[in-house]
Structure 1
Amino acid sequence: MAEDPAAERNPERGWRALQQLAGRHAGYFTTRQVLRTGCEIQVRDGLRDGSVIREGVGLLRLNGWPDGPLDEYAMWSAWFDGAAAVSHHSAAELHGLGRLRPRFVHISAGVGRYPLSPRLVVLRRALSRSDVQSAGAFLVTTPLRTVLDLAEAGIGQTALDEVVADAVAIDRCASDEIRSASSALPAPTAARLHRALTRA
């Protein structure tokens, strides 16, 4: 994200810019964004008066933002400046595909520093716009990309069968769409998806 020279010259404008950034990610923002917008004083004051709360190393949040069930995804999206997407097992759970019950948050990111968190699995890769969709405060891989990712990740065949069956049954993606997309995958992965489609 490009720096805003006007924000650097005007701390109040920088504070407003930071609030806008935080508003995209359920109130979360990073110390990097604070430095970029040039409003360190306002954030320091906010930490003192309670209008800003520390959420972890390098992560803060505007106080008073309503808590939601998907806040953890929004927080990690803020960490990566919105240039990451919830993916794999976590995306399957969001889309209602299968019963994978992920113990970790799975994020795909093309750029950015890895945060230190035992709950986070970061997969370094670039995703095209057609591979992601907005979930409000964060991006998530599309149902089709999620199905393909899980097949490539090597989840068990029974689990993959269930993911594919759910994707087709609840109209997250069509059988033909999965079959067509699988042709670009390695032959063993494509075969696993074809088996899953025959059982869907």
Structure 2
Amino acid sequence: MLRDRTDTRAMLWRVAAGQRGYFTAAQALEVGYSYQAQRYHAQRGNWLLVDRGIYRFREFADLPGEGDEQFVRWSLWSKGRAVISHATALAAHDLGTANPSRIHLTVPRGFRQKSDAVILHRADLKEGDTEARAGYRVTTPLRALAESAAADEDQDVLESAVAEALERGVVTRRRLLHAAQLLGPLAELGIERALGALS
């Protein structure tokens, strides 16, 4: 049975709505848009071509953003395998003064894609290390602090993030030290210095 074009658009819209208006060519194909139809919509300006195989409904681009729309785009780019992490996760959690120029993503060890716009970190994250947001995943505040210390993030940035996380009650000193120990001596040193600066 042939689907009505309005139904096909509505199905794609529902998918994209949970992803801040973004969707992949594969998702569009799944609901009934052939590759030829996808090219047509991109050429007509109905869909914005964001990256190879990633589109966004034009209507979403005109809405005021919440500041994390680009995280959804990178999640789709990675086929859902990348997690926002390190200093970018600190910024996503609004902890301290972190404002990295490139997006930090943690990906599985066998991940092959590359882009100059992101910094890739390879690690196998446990279930409790991440949390879901609308259209992407991000490391928890605890993990973000420890991994930022392990990556030798600027100490001032780390100290401001640790201070704010403790003040808001999202981490405890004990859990933070334990998380840092699990990531090695550099993480431990950075966290100990950040905690020491609070004394």
CA distance in 1, matches of 2:56, 2:21: 5
Deviations 1:28-63 (A, max 9, x none): 122344455552244234224432221233321122
TM-score norm. by structure 2 comes to 0.79
Aligned counterpart, 1:22: 16
189, 193, 196: which one aligns with 1:195: 193
Which stretch shifts more, 184-193 or 91-100? 184-193
Q: Kindly tell me: are residues 126 and 36 of structure 1, through their superposed partners in 2, closer, same or farther at Cα, counting changes over 3 Å?
A: farther
| SS of the residue 1:147 aligns to | helix
Flag structure 2 segments of 5+ consecutive residues without an equivalent. none
Query: Match for residue 85 of structure 2?
Result: 87
Structure 1 consecutive aligned stretches of length 4 or more whose deviation exceeds 3 Å: 9-21, 32-38, 156-159
1:141, distance to aligned residue in structure 2 (A): 0.9
Aligned residues: 192
Between the aligned partners of 1:73 and 1:197, the Cα distance in structure 2 is: 30
Among 184, 187, 194, the residue aligned to 1:186: 184
Equivalent-residue separation in structure 1 for 2:68 and 2:172 (angstroms) = 27
CA contact (8 A) 1:22 1:78 kept: no
One-letter amino acid matched to 1:30:
T
TM-score by length of 1: 0.79
Change beyond 3 A, Cα 1:174–1:49: same
Contact preservation (8 Å) 1:165, 1:199:
no
- Are positions 1:114 and 2:113 aligned together? yes
Q: Which whole-Å CA distance do the structure 2 matches of 1:115 and 1:34 have between them? A: 24
> 1:29 and 1:112 mapped to 2: Cα distance?
21
Taking a change above 3 Å as real, the CA distance of residues 187 and 108 of structure 1, as seen in their structure-2 partners, is closer
- Percent identity between matched residues is 26
Query: The residue matched to 2:142 in structure 1 has which SS?
Result: helix
1:179, distance to aligned residue in structure 2 (A): 1.9
Tell whether the 8 Å contact from 2:152 to 2:186 is kept in structure 1 after alignment: no
Q: Distance in 1 between matches of 2:48 and 2:114?
A: 18
Q: Secondary structure at the match of 1:184?
A: helix
Deviation at 1:26, TM superposition (A): 0.9
Q: Distance in 1 between matches of 2:183 and 2:50?
A: 39
The CA deviation at 1:123 is 2.1
Q: How does 1:59-138 map to 2 (within 5 A)?
A: 59-65=54-60, 66-68=63-65, 69-110=67-108, 113-116=112-115, 118-138=116-136
CA distance in structure 2 between the partners assigned to 1:139 and 1:11 by the alignment: 34
Kindly indicate whether the alpha-carbon contact (under 8 Å) linking 2:152 and 2:190 is maintained by their aligned counterparts in 1. Answer: no
Q: Secondary structure at the match of 2:59?
A: coil
CA contact (8 A) 1:114 1:122 kept: no
* 50, 55, 63: which one aligns with 1:55: 50
